[in-house]
Amino acid sequence: MTIKPDPSLVLPDDLGRLHFVGIGGSGMSGIARLFHERGFAVTGSDRSDSATVQSLRELGIPVAIGHGAAHVGDADTLVVTGALWVENPEYQEALRRGLPVLHRSQALAWLVRGERLLAVAGAHGKSTSTGMLVTALRALDRDPSFVNGAVIQGANTSSAWGEGDLFVVEADESDGSFLLYDTAIALVTNIDTDHLDHYGSAEAIAEAFVDFAHAASELVVLSADDAGTRELRDALVARGSAPRILTFGEAADADVRLTAVSETGPIAFTIVADGVEAHGQLGVPGRHNALNAAGSVAVLLGIGVPLAEAVAALDGFAGTLRRFESHGEAAGVRLYDDYAHHPTEVAAALQTARSVVGDHRVIAIHQPHLFSRTQQMAGEFAAVYERLADRTVVLDVYGAREDPIPGVTGALVSEAFTDGSVVDYRPDWSEAAARVAEIARPGDIVMTLSCGDVYRILPSVREAILAAAGENAADAPDTAEEPLR
């Protein structure tokens, strides 16, 4: 069993010395960095070393590798990730000592008290939209503080303190923790049936989003294209005393309408609002990124930025790590990684790959994430991969915060393909890398997809492709570095 945030917990006035268990995660590292920069004594631990851990150490934050009760040291407060098991010895040591234990979302809620909070929520596109807003606000000299779930290209970090009046956060709905924040401006990108392990039903997910959006004191920005957010808009109006609402998307009734999308190369588009139009271009491909840009522009318009300036501030946005992130190439085969872990996200990532691969093929490496999601959605994943990838190699399940479910493996996905000749189930990573090398040809795209640790297979894939091509991996440039989280 993993640790869930306790919404009834009264946050202490003084946190004292902080110890982060699982500090190397994308969300945890960003929060720890901000506490450190505010003068708090911060320590941490993680199960393995990583580029993120190294970057924290360079800031002066001690990080222990592995988990043991002694790592808690003289901490006054323990901060835990939602992926932490209750059996963790550091968590048990904190309970033994009677130390306050905060879920990372509660630590962030403590950190942003009194700030003008711009919270980005939704099933898909949160990290990218957060990155776009931070990029645009910086270009507009608004210098926001921020915590994102991924490193923002250009900022080269997932979190920072700024001098402006806005604090931008990626608000996680997966465990209900987005309800902890005192939000001024809310952006909801979309709503999907996910995280049923926490909510239990689609109705409960929808109600949580209504509570989140209704609590926004200044503005709510919603997709006009998504059925879930359209229902959310109606629910807000029905509740009465709804906050100000702006909508965005390609729908004819959107307040901020996306038009003339060009998917040739980096995405280009036109946005129309109040009869005025502006043309924009990003530094990343993918139609879904044009929609994310429209949502970001709607937020900027809502806080008083003129349309032309809002769109121009997004020009050249270079993306966030683990979102269609290039890892170079091997013998002419292009290597990419993407965080997609839901069928909707996988479809968007594969469509992006298809828009840039030309006449060559897309080879997907799928790492199922969570046993419950794999059990519920194996058929949906198979259908998406079979439709949009030329070949798919399926790994085993990355369980993260869940106990294994008997009979649930990656084979559930591979067996759901109607054409078994286009999929291979390879739970052994070395065998998976070798199989990809057998399939791949110069010009193809090989892309890993999951929010687990699947990106770690790319060096092996690279070596296998080079070996198959008769090249020496030691002589080739290393383009498959571990991403900073």
Q: Is residue 86 one of the residues assigned to a domain?
A: yes
Kindly state whether residues 238 and 91 are assigned to the same domain: no
101-103 and 116-121 strand pairing: unpaired
Q: Is residue 259 one of the residues assigned to a domain?
A: yes
Q: Select from 49, 82, 103 the last residue of a domain.
A: 103
Kindly state whether residues 412 and 445 are assigned to the same domain: yes
Q: Select from 268, 288, 313 the last residue of a domain.
A: 313
Kindly state whether residues 136 and 72 are assigned to the same domain: no
Kindly state whether residues 78 and 121 are assigned to the same domain: no
Rounded mean pLDDT, 71-94: 92
pLDDT at 217 over 90: yes
* Residue 212's CATH number: 3.40.1190.10
Question: What does the DSSP assignment read for 339-377?
Answer: ---SHHHHHHHHHHHHHHHTTS-EEEEE--B-HHHHHHH
Q: Is residue 329 one of the residues assigned to a domain?
A: yes
Q: Select from 39, 74, 103 the last residue of a domain.
A: 103
- pLDDT number for residue 476: 53
Rounded mean pLDDT, 237-263: 93
pLDDT at 315 over 50: yes
Closest CA to 176 of 147, 212, 202: 212
Which pLDDT band, with edges at 50, 70 and 90, does 91 fall under?
Answer: very high
Distance of CA 8 to the CA centre of its chain: 27
Vertex 421, ends 415 and 423: CA angle to 5°? 55
* Residue 335's CATH number: 3.90.190.20
Kindly state whether residues 93 and 216 are assigned to the same domain: no
Q: Is residue 2 one of the residues assigned to a domain?
A: no
Q: Is residue 202 one of the residues assigned to a domain?
A: yes
How many structural domains does the chain have?
A: 3
Question: What tokens were used for 416?
Answer: 């759901």
- pLDDT number for residue 348: 85
* Residue 90's CATH number: 3.40.50.720
Question: What tokens were used for 233?
Answer: 């808009």
Kindly state whether residues 116 and 87 are assigned to the same domain: no
**Burial of 206 by CB count in 10 Å (0-12 exposed, 13-18 middle, 19+ buried)?**
middle
Domain that holds residue 407: 325-475
d(CA 257, CA 415): 41
145-152 and 77-80 strand pairing: unpaired
Residues facing 280 on adjacent strands:
269
Kindly state whether residues 309 and 186 are assigned to the same domain: yes
- Global pTM? 0.77
- pLDDT number for residue 197: 64
pLDDT at 261 over 60: yes
Residue 407 phi/psi, 5-degree rounding, is 85, -5
Give me the sign of the Cα torsion angle 12, 16, 21, 25: positive
- pLDDT number for residue 400: 80
- pLDDT number for residue 124: 85
Rounded mean pLDDT, 73-94: 92
Rounded mean pLDDT, 3-28: 85
- pLDDT number for residue 72: 97
3-state secondary structure of 42: strand
Kindly state whether residues 237 and 287 are assigned to the same domain: yes
Rounded mean pLDDT, 263-268: 83
Kindly state whether residues 228 and 84 are assigned to the same domain: no
Which pLDDT band, with edges at 50, 70 and 90, does 426 fall under?
Answer: very high
Q: Is residue 10 one of the residues assigned to a domain?
A: no
Which pLDDT band, with edges at 50, 70 and 90, does 199 fall under?
Answer: low
- pLDDT number for residue 14: 93
Which pLDDT band, with edges at 50, 70 and 90, does 110 fall under?
Answer: very high
- pLDDT number for residue 227: 95
Summarize pLDDT for 329-384 with one digit per residue, the tens: 999 999 999 988 889 889 988 988 998 898 999 999 999 998 998 999 999 999 99
Q: Is residue 424 one of the residues assigned to a domain?
A: yes
- pLDDT number for residue 474: 53
Distance of CA 89 to the CA centre of its chain: 28
Q: Is residue 1 one of the residues assigned to a domain?
A: no
| Helix H or strand E segment including 324 | none
- pLDDT number for residue 177: 75
